[in-house]
Structure 1
Amino acid sequence: MGRQPHVLVVSFPAQGHISPLMKLSIQIAAHGVKVTFVTTEVEHAKFMETLSENFEEQSSITLVSIPDGVDEDARYDALKALEATETIRRVIPAYLADLIAEINQSDVDEKISCVIADISVGGALEVAKKMGLEAVAIWPAGAPCLALATQLPRLLQDEIINTDGTIMKDEPIMLSEDVPACAWSSSDIGWKSSHPIISKALLGFYSVVPMYAEFYDLILCNSVHELDSPLFKLIPKALPIGPLLFTNHAKTWPKDSTCSAWLDKHPAGSVVYVAFGSSTIASAKQVEELALGLELSGQPFLLVVRPDFMDGSTARFPDGFHDRVSGRAKIIEWVPQETVLAHPSVSCFVSHCGWNSTMEGLTIGVPFLCWPYIGDQFSNKNYICNVLKTGLELSKDEKGITSRHEISSKINTLISSDVIKAKALHVKDIVRKSSIEGGSSFNNFKSFIEHIKSL
């Protein structure tokens, strides 16, 4: 039996990172390349709950989990995010050398020749290089933020930002006057946070890009060249291969839920889909305003609410809310998002603007109502609203609350806007053409697979 190419894929342990790397792994495996997927024990268990039964057999992907070294008291404490992240970045590479050696000794015909690592655990790329393997990084966020990350050394040298990431001048950062997506103010910079410890932890996700640049030969990006062609001139070694989707590989779709049957009962373009990702936290007051805003809009809605969505306790809704909206609402803890967004009854997407959600919405052509919470979500909001013009932003009052009236008004403005709908469909067409045979992402991924098989 001949040698089968074998790659090791290493993810940072967070759902927003695991998801695109798993989608990439599925795509790689579909081309006859053996894939071993590595993440930490805690996140591995969570992600497995969303995958189809017999996933490993259907996808030809081997799943491996390793400890993350994080103390339990630091794991869910936002103010210990820096400590936890630094621990993870130290511990994961320490396990990888032994794991690679063990795999390579077990079968000479399935030796690992390439490590594809989330740049957030850049030490894995250093391990790969030292072991004589091909090292490929993947950036799980958007191209504008990747461009910003690559330029950090210059921004520091020119004293545009300081070592804490603070913008030193009262004007937006402009990486290129020709690229409107490359503009950031202090209110939407990717490491924005009201707490300096969290800001420093977020800044770390950007600083690892130049820090480990000498160790990776290529950096994959879940983006589309045609949407950001001027941007990629600023990003050495970048290869846009987006969109990364589960729905490209039907056997490995995440498990369906009861929401598809519910959506089938509604007319085309009538349902407001509301979801805020895996980490957004809202106050009790904000949860109340969200509920009443959706009610006030008069539109059918599908609302995804994690058990830990409300700060300090399980999310609770106003008295009588469930009864009043029972005829036109479904509230659920989790959905297969790509399937929901692609359903013809969905009219718009009220989103936190995480990059995975952003790419899914752009690919499917759904208008956005943007409600960013932290990190790169603010940059993604600007990208959606000001660059691509496929959505609207929700504003906050002087107390930091988005009111029920703001929510209701913006929902109805968005779903009645033919201009935004047309923009969303135009972007969808660009993305679709990039991913079919002859398109830029298709060709980039094809050449990447050929390179892996040649190692």
Structure 2
Amino acid sequence: MSHPHFLVIPYPILGHINPLLQFSQVLTKHGCKITFLITEFNQKRMKNAIDHLRTQINFVELSDGLDPEDDRSDQPKVILSLRNTMPSKLHNLIQNINVLDGDDSKITCLVVSKNMGWALEVGHKLGIKGALLWPASATSLASFDSIPTLIHERIIDSETGLPTRKQEIQLLPNSPMMDTANLPWCSLGKNFFLHMVEDTQSLKLGEWWLCNTTSELEPGAFAKWARFLPIGPLMQSDRSKSSFWREDTSCLDWLDQHPPQSVVYVSFGSLATVEANQFKELALGLDLLNKPFLWVVRPSNDNDRHNHAYPDGFIGSKGKVIGWAPQKKILNHPAIACFITHCGWNSIIEGVCGGIPFLCWPFFSDQFINKSYICDVWKVGVGLEKDENGVISKGEIRKKVEQILGNEDIKARSLKLKELTLNNSAEAGQSSKNLQKFINWANN
């Protein structure tokens, strides 16, 4: 029996690269062949991780169309450059791969992430099947797919995507009520909204919209859309976790020296930035806890310097501050008591699979609705609230940490949710069955 050959194309940020790499590794275990497209710029930054995976996955590189000195944290600029420069290069790359590999091993299916809908158009013209792997929650995908309806019902403006008035809506049955000001595109500007309208249309060329989630976590999405397919949690391999920064594994030895459920873990992912005043308040809040803490202070995107100075009065003697973390291992370490998080979906899935209670600190995009799931639907965490100056105060941090560490109901629900979620990846689990269904489809 022949096996499908997937060309996997992530949008070039860590929050997309990692789930698509994890998915690729799962596919290789099923005998599938994987070619993974990475930008030349990221290939240099991730060389060690890529070299580690070359035995399983074939990596190919293309230019993102930007100059080396361009700011790649400017998402609209990256999106535009990819869309303007990559389609013709991708077309040629696919043809070259297919000539080299011969009839037996031609590319069978493209798997792309958000912002890369144009790649499905390229594949479609070449007669190649396509699928989307959405790196965020299924509910956020549902929100983008609902844009025409939201415009038709005059809930949002057709030009800007901004709400026409203050109100709460429920996107899906069994999903939390959502303030329309927190729709995922509202904080990202008009151009991003118009891009997502266009991208979502292109993504419809993907017959399946795969989601790193489970039907228990977000039941409403899968009841409503036939093309949505939950295949999560994508947690199969530590080796698939790649980074632009070197992971500091010394924190694992440090955690070994602490008793169970005693350490507060703080990380805001690979994109969110804490402004200077808030950074100082967070530092002082962690000092106030009188508990050990492990705090990830990411280097700035363009070099290895950290973004902010620590405030006068910050002692940090009970804590450990690191530049980048082996997060999955940390969240599965018995010493971790709770997770202060930006509510990015990858972090949430890792926290749920670790059975860890959450303290929610969303910054932008889908993170607000993710917080609603944690606090209002699954009830495995609490939110950190801003004061009248828009700052989460050191007192609020201390109060909420004490509240969550003293809540046995939240701890019990976290462990129950862990069990339910991980069961999906077992051989007879729903996600495993869905994955087999997808592979069979790609092979026909």
Q: TM-score, normalised by structure 1?
A: 0.90
Runs of 4+ in 1 over 4 A off after TM superposition: 71-74, 250-256
Q: Within 5 Å, which residues of 2 pair with 1:3-152?
A: 4-49=3-48, 51=49, 54-57=52-55, 60-71=56-67, 75-76=71-72, 78=74, 81-108=75-102, 109-152=104-147
Q: Give the Cα separation in 2 of the matches to 1:148 and 1:234.
A: 12
Instruction: Give the 3 Å change call, closer, same or farther, for CA 76–61 of structure 1 in structure 2.
Output: closer
Instruction: Give the 3 Å change call, closer, same or farther, for CA 265–317 of structure 1 in structure 2.
Output: same
Q: Which residue of 2 aligns with 1:207?
A: 197
Q: Which residue of 1 aligns with 2:272?
A: 280
Instruction: Give the 3 Å change call, closer, same or farther, for CA 213–68 of structure 1 in structure 2.
Output: closer
Q: Which deviations, in whole Å up to 9, do the C-alpha atoms of 1:190-227 show, x marking residues without a partner? A: 1232xxxx322443564246412541111111110122
Q: Which deviations, in whole Å up to 9, do the C-alpha atoms of 1:302-352 show, x marking residues without a partner? A: 100012289x9732112353xx333x2111001111011000000111001
Q: Give the Cα separation in 2 of the matches to 1:387 and 1:117.
A: 30
The range that moved more, 225-234 or 13-22, is 225-234
Instruction: Give the 3 Å change call, closer, same or farther, for CA 72–47 of structure 1 in structure 2.
Output: closer
C-alpha contact (below 8 Å) 1:11/1:121 kept by paired residues:
yes
Instruction: Give the 3 Å change call, closer, same or farther, for CA 130–5 of structure 1 in structure 2.
Output: same
Q: Give the Cα separation in 2 of the matches to 1:72 and 1:201.
A: 24
Instruction: Give the 3 Å change call, closer, same or farther, for CA 190–253 of structure 1 in structure 2.
Output: closer
Instruction: Give the 3 Å change call, closer, same or farther, for CA 201–436 of structure 1 in structure 2.
Output: farther
Instruction: Give the 3 Å change call, closer, same or farther, for CA 168–74 of structure 1 in structure 2.
Output: farther
Q: Which residue of 2 aligns with 1:185?
A: 179
C-alpha contact (below 8 Å) 2:111/2:131 kept by paired residues:
yes
C-alpha contact (below 8 Å) 2:123/2:130 kept by paired residues:
yes
Instruction: Give the 3 Å change call, closer, same or farther, for CA 125–52 of structure 1 in structure 2.
Output: closer
C-alpha contact (below 8 Å) 1:282/1:309 kept by paired residues:
no
Instruction: Give the 3 Å change call, closer, same or farther, for CA 19–408 of structure 1 in structure 2.
Output: same
Q: Give the Cα separation in 2 of the matches to 1:53 and 1:26.
A: 14
Instruction: Give the 3 Å change call, closer, same or farther, for CA 46–377 of structure 1 in structure 2.
Output: farther
Q: Which residue of 2 aligns with 1:167?
A: 163
Q: Give the Cα separation in 2 of the matches to 1:98 and 1:437.
A: 39
Q: Give the Cα separation in 1 of the matches to 2:328 and 2:198.
A: 30
Q: Give the Cα separation in 2 of the matches to 1:45 and 1:203.
A: 31
Which among 307, 314, 333 is matched to residue 314 of structure 1? 307
Q: Give the Cα separation in 2 of the matches to 1:46 and 1:30.
A: 26
Q: Give the Cα separation in 1 of the matches to 2:101 and 2:200.
A: 35
Q: Give the Cα separation in 2 of the matches to 1:309 and 1:72.
A: 13
Task: Give the AA of the match of 1:395.
Answer: E
Q: Within 5 Å, which residues of 2 pair with 1:416-435?
A: 416-435=406-425
Long gaps (5+) in structure 1 = none
- 1:404 Cα shift? 0.7
Q: Which residue of 2 aligns with 1:354?
A: 344
Task: Give the AA of the match of 1:407.
Answer: I
Q: Give the Cα separation in 2 of the matches to 1:17 and 1:334.
A: 17
Q: Which residue of 2 aligns with 1:265?
A: 257
- 1:42 Cα shift? 2.1
Q: Give the Cα separation in 2 of the matches to 1:213 and 1:275.
A: 31
Q: Which residue of 1 aligns with 2:324?
A: 334
Q: Give the Cα separation in 1 of the matches to 2:26 and 2:250.
A: 27
Task: Give the AA of the match of 1:325.
Answer: G
Aligned residue for 1:291, secondary structure, equals helix
Q: Give the Cα separation in 2 of the matches to 1:136 and 1:40.
A: 20
Q: Which residue of 2 aligns with 1:249?
A: 237
- 1:48 Cα shift? 3.8
Q: Which residue of 2 aligns with 1:216?
A: 206
- 1:72 Cα shift? 5.8
Q: Which structure shows the bigger proportion of residues in helix conformation?
A: 1
Q: Give the Cα separation in 1 of the matches to 2:33 and 2:357.
A: 37
Q: Give the Cα separation in 2 of the matches to 1:117 and 1:251.
A: 21
C-alpha RMSD of matched pairs (Å): 2.3
C-alpha contact (below 8 Å) 2:285/2:393 kept by paired residues:
yes
Q: Which deviations, in whole Å up to 9, do the C-alpha atoms of 1:211-244 show, x marking residues without a partner? A: 1254111111111012222222222411110111
Which among 284, 290, 296 is matched to residue 298 of structure 1? 290
- 1:143 Cα shift? 1.2
Q: Give the Cα separation in 1 of the matches to 2:225 and 2:405.
A: 36
Q: Give the Cα separation in 2 of the matches to 1:7 and 1:165.
A: 34
- 1:14 Cα shift? 1.1
Instruction: Give the 3 Å change call, closer, same or farther, for CA 369–47 of structure 1 in structure 2.
Output: farther
Q: Give the Cα separation in 2 of the matches to 1:263 and 1:204.
A: 45
- Verify: 1:325 aligned to 2:313, yes or no: no
Long gaps (5+) in structure 2 = none
Task: Give the AA of the match of 1:266.
Answer: H
Q: TM-score, normalised by structure 2?
A: 0.92
- Verify: 1:237 aligned to 2:230, yes or no: no
Q: Give the Cα separation in 2 of the matches to 1:75 and 1:261.
A: 36
Q: Give the Cα separation in 2 of the matches to 1:70 and 1:149.
A: 27
C-alpha contact (below 8 Å) 1:117/1:138 kept by paired residues:
yes
Instruction: Give the 3 Å change call, closer, same or farther, for CA 90–52 of structure 1 in structure 2.
Output: closer
Aligned residue for 1:119, secondary structure, equals coil
- 1:6 Cα shift? 1.2
Instruction: Give the 3 Å change call, closer, same or farther, for CA 268–208 of structure 1 in structure 2.
Output: farther
- Verify: 1:369 aligned to 2:375, yes or no: no
